[in-house]
A and B are shown apart, each in its own frame.
Chain A
């Protein structure tokens, strides 16, 4: 313990706060990740189905979602988060803390997640879709039994990439009052020159990302049969 004490004196002094920040990061990643997954799946399905040559082509719906996703993806997250402050305040009552961070994170990560799931669907062999059509399946059945089911390993892979990006975004959101490990590192490590705090945060984030990737790999192995 004394070695840890020597290496990370400022962290040890603020251990409860450090732990709270870690939990905040987990909550932000977990809640935003779950919400964004649902939203991105829906958007990716709609874009895939309504695309030209899709199961139910619809140029208007496709273009609206496609352009919106592109627009949001082209704004750097820190600027997007700042721009969203009034909207966040109107929606959840506050723009700071974990509660205030979730909405901008959701808007920041969903376009990326949508595109990635969309490309996972695009990798599903068109022949499989045609075979399902030839069996007389309805469109929702084809979406669920072919597009979603056959891209489960790809979706897990892109979910890992997205979660890692999301961890990064939670650190950025700390700057605009979001809480979490990013906020902790900036307040003590950067602004008060407590370098050991910064390193401790780095170690925890690396372990967190390593854990996410490990779980992802196990799930891919479990679900892939080709």
Chain B
């Protein structure tokens, strides 16, 4: 039963092939998931993004058997989840932590009690559990809240407790179901930073379900875009951001960048994008990981043109600069064309918006 595969020298933690799931809905059979194929490799921080109702929560629940699938195969560390008996399934779940949008902490238990809950079925005695709880509280930086009840905590603190609880049994995989969707942007950042740290220090494989592209951008190395139960695009996060192909992916990518705001300005005929006198409005996108020279000043000097930056949005994704600029170039027509040709040669995505 245990036949693990490897990709690029790393073990595949979750291997999903031709997965399908149907519901019996009010209007007949509803397809929740259709021919899903993905491999989540050990050490990945794998993002699954989609709009609500796309099936991403269902998909992630198939991984720990909270939802059953009807077709195809889903193997966690080589074991087919569907064919596990109740006892095997419980032991699989103890090896997979899970955190939720609404935290799901037990209101009747203290912070310590909530974390200890995950340890009750393990091998530790009361003393061992208490010291493990202390250790986990230190890990998520909440040692001072041990005896508080969840109702006394902020959203970010609640999610930290939930993370500690999810990690109690030393899982190799952590599933995060919209874990930051109920949090403000700053708290989201700190929770994502915590997940990143746990990934780095504990060697955790993390599967993140989200509808926020900014979450994918901040923390994931691979991403799958899911729409109406199927994967429409999958790949490394940098590649997806640099060259989104599916329409949905493009709209997700656009939410994290302000480079598209220029079309609003053009529609409003803003004086900012006034192009009298042979000027050209250009969108430049950094689509390659090898952009490091000071391109703007370089082309203005070499081609004797003026480059006026209207928008800039450059981010570091997966350790490489990603984003671009919207600029107005003015100068001799031939010089402008030569500059654009030069940029294209340097692997910059050039889009002349208006001339």
Residues of chain A having any CB pair with chain B under 8 Å: 125, 127-128, 130-138, 141, 145-146, 149-150, 152, 223, 225-226
Contacts and interface: CB of A to CB of B under 8 A. Distances in A.
A135 B104 contact: no
Contact of B108 (A130, A131, A134, A150): A150
13 contacts: A128-B106, A130-B66, A132-B117, A133-B93, A134-B66, A136-B91, A136-B169, A141-B120, A145-B120, A146-B106, A225-B108, A226-B107, A226-B150
A137 B89 CA distance: 10
Interface string B76-111: 000000000000011111101110101011111100
Given A127-B100, A130-B104, A131-B105, 9 more contacts: A125-B102, A125-B104, A127-B104, A131-B98, A133-B66, A133-B93, A138-B121, A150-B106, A226-B149
A225 B93 contact: no
Nearest to B148: A225
Interface string B142-182: 00000001110000000000100100010000010000000
A149 B66 contact: no
B118 interface: yes
A223 B108 contact: yes
Interface string B20-52: 000000000000000000000000000000000
B249 interface: no
Nearest to B114: A131
Contacts of B165: 135
B73 interface: no
Given A136-B94, A226-B151, A149 B108 contact: yes
A131 B100 contact: yes
Contact of A135 (B107, B109, B118): B118
B90 A138 contact: yes
Nearest to A141: B121
Interface centre among B96, B118, B150 (most CB of A within 10 A): B118
Contacts of B118: 135
B17 to A, nearest CB: 23
B59 to A, nearest CB: 15
A135 B98 CA distance: 8
B64 interface: yes
A225 B149 contact: yes
A135 to B, nearest CB: 5
A98 to B, nearest CB: 37
Contacts of A152: 108
Interchain residue pairs A-B with the least CB separation, the first 4:
A136-B93, A131-B104, A136-B90, A136-B94
Interface of B: 64, 66, 89-94, 96-98, 100, 102, 104-109, 117-118, 120-121, 149-151, 162, 165, 169, 175
B106 A149 contact: yes
A146 B121 CA distance: 14
A136 B106 CA distance: 16
Contacts of B94: 135-136
Contacts of B93: 133-136
A192 B7 CA distance: 93
A154 to B, nearest CB: 11
Nearest to A129: B104
Contacts of A137: 90, 121
A19 B244 CA distance: 85
Contacts of A127: 100, 102, 104
Interface centre among A145, A223, A225 (most CB of B within 10 A): A225
B104 A128 contact: yes
A174 B109 CA distance: 44
A12 B162 CA distance: 64
A134 B98 contact: yes
Given A136-B93, A149-B106, A150-B108, A225 B151 contact: yes
Contacts of A128: 104, 106
A124 to B, nearest CB: 10
Nearest to A225: B149
A131 B121 CA distance: 15
B341 to A, nearest CB: 56
Contacts of A133: 66, 93
Contacts of A136: 89-94, 121, 169
A127 B98 CA distance: 12
B97 to A, nearest CB: 8
A145 to B, nearest CB: 7
Given A146-B106, A226-B151, A135 B100 contact: no
Contacts of A130: 66, 100, 104
A166 to B, nearest CB: 27
Nearest to A131: B104
A130 B106 CA distance: 12
A144 B107 CA distance: 15
A127 B108 CA distance: 15
B157 to A, nearest CB: 15
Contacts of B66: 130, 133-134
Nearest to B86: A138
Contacts of B120: 141, 145
A146 B117 CA distance: 10
A146 B109 CA distance: 10
A142 B93 CA distance: 14
A108 B341 CA distance: 89
A152 B107 CA distance: 11
A118 B150 CA distance: 25
